[in-house]
Structure 1
């Protein structure tokens, strides 16, 4: 048997082979992530990363670990022993300590290691145990020597040049990581004695050690790079002016263009011109809603498959469920579950060049949720496309701006900001904070915009119920009718009055369980009537003939208009806006903006796209309200303090709670499906169980709880004790909040 096979890192993989596999990933990273040297300001960064990977599992030669692989009781932490071998490195102390920290924390963070294994007191059981395990290396120490004698071969093959062979230290020369670097790590930071390993260098070093280790363990030894030539994917005979400018614009840019004008293609063409030579920059496409993300994932997967499969990943709270549901019904539940799990495991790693996600997935890193160093390392030099930017409230907008600023200043990222409706005050805010040049603003010309005329605006007095007969008349005449209400309860009431007029009718809102919402969305193309809430404003591939909508600010209305005559090939289609909504609209929208929207739209009959920006700016001429501005500044201040604590090697469980507090909703199941949910859980069909869930706001949850309408299953899942109808969704007597 070859010596390399005699010591194992895993049950089916030798230590030498696993180490070499991580170095294969390193070679791929060196090719794609050359800019990391500039970002970390360390010319020999990849050499330090090589040493960290070379040593990261070397402690597994210990007898105890080898016996554990054979099924014996759990042993010690191999990474503590592995980190001890930095004593063999001939580097400056600051780099040796950085490498030691990256190795020792590649499974557990500093706080957890200190709590269970700290060796500060030489009379402690932990110190005695450490020394015993150091001595247990002796039997297989020959293997370490063999590894050290091969470092020149491995470095030349994977680093690109030879490193000097390492001298094997005596056991008593090995460094105790706790005394060497862990003990002083946080104290140095708190005492304002920050070292290189407290900042970007340390974050990226730790992140890429974990990234290489995870990818090697998953059998992926080379990361995928981006599309070689995006113009070969979107090879149009005639590019729109915005697309032509986007494909020539380098650096941060901003695009304002109507729905259906090719913004997605423009953004991807921008990403292409801003790529590095090897197409190694990761591309992140950020969207505010799950439905938008799912639709974009399907679209890009289809488009990119012309060149290569598996380039696109998807990240949001229910991404794994979405992947599971997209798989063939020919496979069993177990097979589909494993496939979905494997797909998402790879997506979470530094592998796919395109990821579609919500901003909250990026926010995780800044709240120091476990794995944040891998996230930040991956996002280094990233290309970020932010779509539907108008959809974020002041709280989220402030968080976003702060994140983008840090990614720009410290991690050399670039951004493409785009929207169909972008108030000038908000545009200026993004331009100033991200240093977007005037020449990098991309618009359609007035002549192009003037040619896009899709809608005739009609404003009706009264509310929607006073005009039900008109809606029925359009349905009877065979028109495809879209009705948008501002609350779930109102949409349910309207649907009950209209559903019998046509067989092909659907109701869409957030208070449908997942499996019913999927059914509705699958039928939208053929439906003659769709009644919905703000849920229809997102990227659904729908096109109706006429719209009836409750009043809302101009940006929300324009999104609703965009679901009618989407491609502009139906001539001019009517959109009807009612002056009165429900009594709860003021909870959802600013009343002043609604009124200004209605007052301005009354001056228009035929609505040309060249009018849109002027209308949007008039509605938002006062910028944020006092309340919104106060929230924006509060978050701004909070985030600055958050960044002060952004150091590697330590997760922060307290801040982690703050992160999950950003999601102002709760996952619940209707009482009607309690037994179905429990049966799925008992049978370990967790994805099927997820199909019975829906989300309600925190506010609504606490009101229901106060009224004794919340129960819980044994596993802690909240159950709403309200009626549920398969077509209407969750039925709550009194509406007190906005449900999208």
Structure 2
């Protein structure tokens, strides 16, 4: 808890509480000091924020808004609710809001026509609830025109304050307001002197009327959103007793650590020497794009400091792996073996996705500290909560986290505060369909223009039409597009493309895979659909030792998925470089698209179903990585299936053209990644390009309408909330045969441990199961649906052959 220095403690109001005893029991003064201390953190982290928004009084307004924001908690009814086991009272039964009562004190310092009045009213009124909506401030208390019920509610608030309480608040303000400002570094606040005015319903009504006018003035939308984001961040962090927010640890020396002792490639040097702003990098797989991105970020920090760096990836497994990579290579002390889940040492990097808490929990349990599962779960939740408070300077997440802000989901203002002036690294931009890509690029454009964000987009494959749209969204020209040199592309040649007749499930293909395995090779087999991956795995495991074959797709529960990933890296020795050290046993891994960008693994060869060229390039990238001898190896692409539903989740015409281009350009020859963009340009033409453009432009227009409809102090309604999560997130189900294990884990080790038995599926698959009567409640815990379909730790969730297949992730 943040302590007030003794000489600045207004102990004469210690009887006024802000929190109940079970929430820490802070006095109003203690909590307010903590909020202001966390606000001071934000000022330290964002020294150019006022300049960026052209508002030199921004921090002064925030200071006084935060100082006054909880004055209404002095209400007698509110204080009664903070007692131990309080009975219901008129305050709770009337669902009254302390922040509305706090508005009664604004006139003491900011009367009508004062230049700071409107922003301060906004900070106070909206630090918990939206203005409108079912639980909004204005429907409960009114504005402009007040009915009798609303007038009575306002009078009730005023009647909650007696004269001694008002006197104590006045004394606190006059004796300590400016002194606190000076102590916490909010210079200039002392220029405002209070003048005591009446505390009555008229003072609240005047503030509410002004609030309506302020919220409707669209000229200040970005500033208003930022003001709310700042008080939400400071207030929530103070309530959670969060430590001071850490400074950004990335600088040019830290960014150079992994490249020490090596000569930088040309594109890495170019990234290190960029001008301020966004950039694009096209470079082959394995050429050090991640190192280039961190060098770019450090350079941008030196040119114009940023409080936050976001590393953006499409899949959860790749996010987990990247967070660990950033922690171990850049920020962990050389003498430490701590995982990034160790909160005692890691104040730099964190992941954000729907299973982040479970991943942290599993890391901690694997560390075998001896702590009880429930205690470990509490630690994992604490890190999750810190991440939600935007505590960590480096965050690894998916673009869908960003889009929460675009859709104005609750708390979006705090997200936009974090994105303001932020640095974003985008990896694997090719992995999204046109509709989602349109949302991502339009969000990037809006964040760049409105909030000064900077982006570094890196990829090995980029079609010309996408490159043009990407550069437009980033607002860059050719001088900001970095490309690896021809020597780097030449060195990247690692694969000879072999096009094979038939499908992966044909006997001839199975014989080839098994022959490679028996010759001592590590073999990756990649399918486009989970159901075919299951069939292929069943066909192969009859001929392979059980411990040397593994199946990986998106329909495993969290526990089994984590075990498989560990087995890949540890038991199968598939990390790049293991082959050079010798002793790597053969294996077969059957996987879906999840393998494309998920783990840092290295196979000897691959057999893959036909897919779009950009997906095939990523699959090839899992083969022959980090080999010192630069030997070429075969990568095998089947010619079937390419028709109808068998080619899903991909477009049939796109897959056919990709195969045709491979045949013409690469069959039985090394594939040159320097020519991939040109090859993609050949593929995306005519009707295929027109359809891509149509889908892209439609979603671009949709998001522009959504962004234009954004209003300060107002979050999305429940329907929009549900629409967003059904658009981007799946749903978790519990396989029926795991129910006893789930309930036992919940009873004995807590829900977090039990959640490792849940499996993610798409909403479309969820609807299919429900239509077939395959879903049911879970008895006393009927909020988690049970799925009456087979589940096996080796094979995962089997939705049956007749199930409609979505994209795997």
Q: Residues 444-477 of structure 1: CA distance to partner in whole angstroms, max 9, x if unpaired?
A: 1112211222111111111122321111111111
Q: Residues 237-270 of structure 1: CA distance to partner in whole angstroms, max 9, x if unpaired?
A: 3112111111111211001112221111111111
1:542 alignment partner in structure 2: 601
Distance 1:493 1:160 in 2: 69
1:167 alignment partner in structure 2: 194
1:420 alignment partner in structure 2: 460
The partner residue of 1:293 within 319, 326, 344 is 319
Q: Does the 8 Å contact 1:246/1:267 carry over to 2?
A: yes
Distance 1:5 1:181 in 2: 28
The partner residue of 1:77 within 87, 97, 120 is 97
2:646 alignment partner in structure 1: 585
Residue 89 of structure 1 and its aligned partner are, at CA, apart by 2.1
The partner residue of 2:62 within 33, 38, 49 is 49
Q: Does 546-555 or 80-89 show the bigger shift? A: 80-89
2:553 alignment partner in structure 1: 509
1:99 alignment partner in structure 2: 120
Q: Does the 8 Å contact 1:35/1:381 carry over to 2?
A: no
Distance 1:93 1:245 in 2: 50
2:7 alignment partner in structure 1: none
Distance 1:143 1:730 in 2: 63
Q: Does the 8 Å contact 1:484/1:549 carry over to 2?
A: yes
The partner residue of 1:337 within 374, 377, 385 is 377
Distance 1:162 1:621 in 2: 61
Instruction: Tell me the secondary structure at the aligned position of residue 495 of structure 2.
Output: strand
Distance 1:459 1:104 in 2: 65
Mapped pair 1:641 → 2:711: no
Instruction: Tell me the secondary structure at the aligned position of residue 732 of structure 2.
Output: strand
Residue 644 of structure 1 and its aligned partner are, at CA, apart by 2.1
Distance 1:677 1:117 in 2: 46
Instruction: Tell me the secondary structure at the aligned position of residue 622 of structure 2.
Output: coil
Distance 1:297 1:218 in 2: 24
The partner residue of 2:491 within 441, 445, 451 is 451
Q: Closer, same or farther in 2 for the Cα pair 1:122/1:490, shift >3 Å?
A: closer
1:407 alignment partner in structure 2: 447
Structure 2 residue runs of 5 or longer lacking an equivalent are: 1-9, 335-344, 573-586
1:475 alignment partner in structure 2: 517
Distance 1:228 1:702 in 2: 45
Distance 2:687 2:300 in 1: 32
Residue 576 of structure 1 and its aligned partner are, at CA, apart by 0.8
1:614 alignment partner in structure 2: 678
2:756 alignment partner in structure 1: 691
Residue 550 of structure 1 and its aligned partner are, at CA, apart by 0.9
Q: Does the 8 Å contact 1:102/1:649 carry over to 2?
A: no
1:566 alignment partner in structure 2: 625
The partner residue of 1:531 within 574, 590, 600 is 590
Q: Does the 8 Å contact 2:528/2:647 carry over to 1?
A: no
Distance 1:40 1:623 in 2: 44
Distance 2:48 2:750 in 1: 44
Q: Does 283-292 or 690-699 show the bigger shift? A: 690-699
Q: Does 530-539 or 69-78 show the bigger shift? A: 69-78
Mapped pair 1:36 → 2:100: no
Matches within 5 A, 1:267-346: 267-275=293-301, 279-302=305-328, 303-306=330-333, 309-328=346-365, 329=368, 330-346=370-386
Q: Does the 8 Å contact 2:232/2:414 carry over to 1?
A: yes
Residue 194 of structure 1 and its aligned partner are, at CA, apart by 2.0
Residue 196 of structure 1 and its aligned partner are, at CA, apart by 5.0
1:521 alignment partner in structure 2: 565
Q: Does the 8 Å contact 2:107/2:203 carry over to 1?
A: no
Distance 2:603 2:804 in 1: 30
Residue 696 of structure 1 and its aligned partner are, at CA, apart by 2.3
1:145 alignment partner in structure 2: 170
Distance 2:653 2:304 in 1: 51
Distance 1:93 1:656 in 2: 37
Distance 1:694 1:680 in 2: 16
Q: Closer, same or farther in 2 for the Cα pair 1:277/1:103, shift >3 Å?
A: farther
Q: Does 420-429 or 625-634 show the bigger shift? A: 625-634
Q: Residues 682-710 of structure 1: CA distance to partner in whole angstroms, max 9, x if unpaired?
A: 66822233212222233333333333223
Residue 57 of structure 1 and its aligned partner are, at CA, apart by 1.2
Mapped pair 1:734 → 2:802: yes
Q: Does 31-40 or 332-341 show the bigger shift? A: 31-40
Q: Closer, same or farther in 2 for the Cα pair 1:590/1:374, shift >3 Å?
A: same
Q: Residues 564-611 of structure 1: CA distance to partner in whole angstroms, max 9, x if unpaired?
A: 111133621211111112753333212222222222223421223333
Q: Does the 8 Å contact 2:286/2:492 carry over to 1?
A: no
1:717 alignment partner in structure 2: 784
Q: Does 429-438 or 300-309 show the bigger shift? A: 300-309
2:399 alignment partner in structure 1: 359
Instruction: Tell me the secondary structure at the aligned position of residue 453 of structure 1.
Output: coil
Q: Does the 8 Å contact 1:292/1:539 carry over to 2?
A: yes
Q: Does the 8 Å contact 1:19/1:53 carry over to 2?
A: yes
Distance 1:313 1:544 in 2: 29
Distance 1:186 1:162 in 2: 26
Instruction: Tell me the secondary structure at the aligned position of residue 554 of structure 2.
Output: coil
Distance 1:506 1:721 in 2: 24
Distance 1:222 1:531 in 2: 46
Distance 1:77 1:276 in 2: 45
Q: Does the 8 Å contact 1:253/1:442 carry over to 2?
A: yes
The partner residue of 2:151 within 123, 127, 130 is 127
1:628 alignment partner in structure 2: 692
1:212 alignment partner in structure 2: 234
Mapped pair 1:3 → 2:71: no
Residue 631 of structure 1 and its aligned partner are, at CA, apart by 2.3
Mapped pair 1:136 → 2:201: no
Q: Does the 8 Å contact 2:642/2:652 carry over to 1?
A: no
Instruction: Tell me the secondary structure at the aligned position of residue 606 of structure 2.
Output: strand
Q: Closer, same or farther in 2 for the Cα pair 1:19/1:664, shift >3 Å?
A: closer
Q: Does the 8 Å contact 1:63/1:140 carry over to 2?
A: no
Distance 2:458 2:353 in 1: 21
The partner residue of 1:556 within 615, 618, 624 is 615
Mapped pair 1:671 → 2:730: no
Residue 412 of structure 1 and its aligned partner are, at CA, apart by 0.9
Residue 520 of structure 1 and its aligned partner are, at CA, apart by 1.2
Instruction: Tell me the secondary structure at the aligned position of residue 457 of structure 2.
Output: strand
Residue 484 of structure 1 and its aligned partner are, at CA, apart by 0.6
The partner residue of 1:463 within 500, 503, 509 is 503
Instruction: Tell me the secondary structure at the aligned position of residue 728 of structure 2.
Output: coil
Q: Does the 8 Å contact 1:490/1:582 carry over to 2?
A: no
Q: Does the 8 Å contact 1:87/1:173 carry over to 2?
A: no
| Cα RMSD, aligned residues only | 2.5
2:420 alignment partner in structure 1: 380
Mapped pair 1:108 → 2:125: no
Residue 125 of structure 1 and its aligned partner are, at CA, apart by 4.6
How many residues align structurally? 735
2:36 alignment partner in structure 1: 23
Q: Compute the TM-score of the two structures, normalised by the length of structure 1.
A: 0.94
Q: Does the 8 Å contact 2:463/2:677 carry over to 1?
A: yes
Instruction: Tell me the secondary structure at the aligned position of residue 350 of structure 1.
Output: coil
Q: Closer, same or farther in 2 for the Cα pair 1:557/1:119, shift >3 Å?
A: closer
Q: Does the 8 Å contact 1:4/1:17 carry over to 2?
A: no
